[in-house]
Structure 1
Amino acid sequence: MALDAPRSVRFTKSPTVAVVAHQGSRKSGPHYIHTALLEDGSKFFETMLKKTRFTQIIPLDLDRDVDVTDFDVFVTWLYKGCIDEHTLGDRFMNIWTLASQLQSETFKSYIMKEGRVHLQESDYLSIAKFLDGDVISKCALRDYILSGLATKIASNGWVSFIERTRGGWEDFMSHKDNGAGTKGKFISFLMARLDQMRQNGTQSSPAIQLEGHGGAVFHHPSPQSQHRSQTLPVYVAPMESTPHIPIPNPVSKKRKWEADTVQQL
C-alpha cells in the first residue's frame, strides 16, 4: 500500500466505487468512494480493486467487533484526514479493529497517535477487558496499550489509579484462567512491563509496593506520599518467551499521509 503523499486534488480524477459494509443484518452505504483513496488508505481495498478492476460495488463483511457506523468513521477519515475526538475516544477499540481488518497502517497510525490524548484521561479498564482474551494475539495494540497504561500507573501509583474505578480494577485482576488459557494474561504482561520499567530506572520517585507479585515496586510521583503496600488478588498466568457520508469538495491543501511510527516497547 502506498504511504506517500496523497493525491489531494488528483484523487477526484479516479473513478468511484460503491462500498456497502455489512454487520449481520445491518448495513452502511452504499458509500461512493474514489478508488485512489481506497488504494492509498487500505491494503485490503488495494488488493480487491486490483482483482476486480471493473467492479462497481464492493460488499464488505465487517469483523464481529466492528459496527457498521465504524465504517462511516473510516470514510470520513479517508476524505478529511481526521475524525472527531469524541468519536475516537468512544469507539477507540472498534475503529482500531476495523483498521486491522482493512489492513490500513495509515489509519492505525492516526488512531494510535491521536488516541494518546484520549487515553490520558482513561482508566483503561474496558480496553484491558477487551484484550484479556482471544484477541490478546493483537500484539501491536496490546503493546501500545501496555505502554500507556504502565506509564500512567508508574506515574500515579497503584492505589491512586485503581481507586478511580471503585473496585473495577480489583475485580478484573482477580480473574482466573479459563479453558483456553487466555484470561489473566493481560495482567501478567502488565506486571512484566512495570517490572521492566523499574529495572530500567524509568521512574525515580517514591514507590508503592504491590504485594503478591514478587515484591514488584511501582512509583508514586508525590515526595510527600507515604510508602504503602496494597494487597490485591492478582492472578499471574505463565509468561510467554451510518447513513451515506457525502463526499466533500476537494481542497487544494495536501494532508499528511505518512504513517507515524509507533514505538513498541
Structure 2
Amino acid sequence: MTISMEKPSSDAPSGGKVPLVELKDVGKSYGNITALKGICLRVHAGEVTGILGDNGAGKSTLIKIISGLHQQTEGELLVDGEPMRFGSPADALAKGIATVYQNLAVVPLMPVWRNFFLGQELRKKSFPFSLDANAMRATTLTELAKMGIELPDVDAPIGSLSGGQRQCVAIARAVFFGARVLILDEPTAALGVKQSGVVLKYITAAKEAGFGVVFITHNPHHAHLVGDHFVLLNRGRQKLDCAYDDITLEHLTQQMAGGDELEALSHELRSAKG
C-alpha cells in the first residue's frame, strides 16, 4: 500500500521550529466546575502528539479549545507562536486546524463524494451555477488515491464503507481543505485490529508528510505505535508529558491504568485474598 500526501505549505510561519500549536497553562472552568487546569502542550510539524486519558480525563474539553468550539478561561493558545483566541471552529480551520471527530459527522446514505464536500460543495462557474458533481467526483477519487484508498465507486453510500475507510475519507477531506494540524478524536475506538492498523498507517503517513497530528486515544498501545510525544490527562490535570524515547510502552500503559493507584489496589486485593 502506497500512501502519498501533499506536504503543507513550506512557507508556514512555524518553519518546523516554533510549534504549530502550543498551549501554555491552559484551563477551562464551567462555573464552579474545573474541567482543565494547567495544561501545557506543543504540536510540531511532522510529529504525532498522543493525548491519552480515560473517560472524564478532559480530552474532549481539550479538543474543543484547540478546535475553536470553546474558549479557555485561563492560559494561552498560540498558533505559529502568536496568541490566538478562536471564536468558532471556522476560525481554527482558517489557521489550518481541522478536527476529525469520532462520530465523523457524515451522512451515511449520501455518496462518498457528497460527504467529502459536505458544506463546501463546488458549483459550476456558469449559469445555472448548479453543483459540479463531476468535478467533485474526480477530486474525491484523486484525494483518496493519494492516501492509498482505491474506491471503485465514489457514488456508493459512505455508510457502506468500513469504519477505517470512513476515518480515512475524513482525514483526506481535512487535508484537502487546508489542514496543517489534524486533531483525531479516538479514531480507532470503535474499530477492530485490522481497521485500526489501516488508520494508524494513515496517521504515520500524515506525520511523514509534515502535518502536525494530535491523536486523542485511551489506547496506549496505539499511541505508542505512532506517537512522538505523549501527554496523559487525569481528571483535568496533566499527569505525564514525555517524548517517545523517554517512556516504554509498559510504563505508558501503567500510567494510563492508574500507576501507583493501581499498584496500591492490587496490593490491597492480594492482602484480602490472603
Instruction: Name which one, 1 or 2, has greater alpha-carbon Rg.
Output: 1
User: Same fold per TM (> 0.5)?
Assistant: no
Please identify which structure carries the higher strand content: 2
TM-score range, shorter chain: 0.3 to 0.5
Normalising by structure 2, report the TM-score. Answer: 0.32
Structure number with greater CO (CA < 8 Å, separation at least 6) is 2
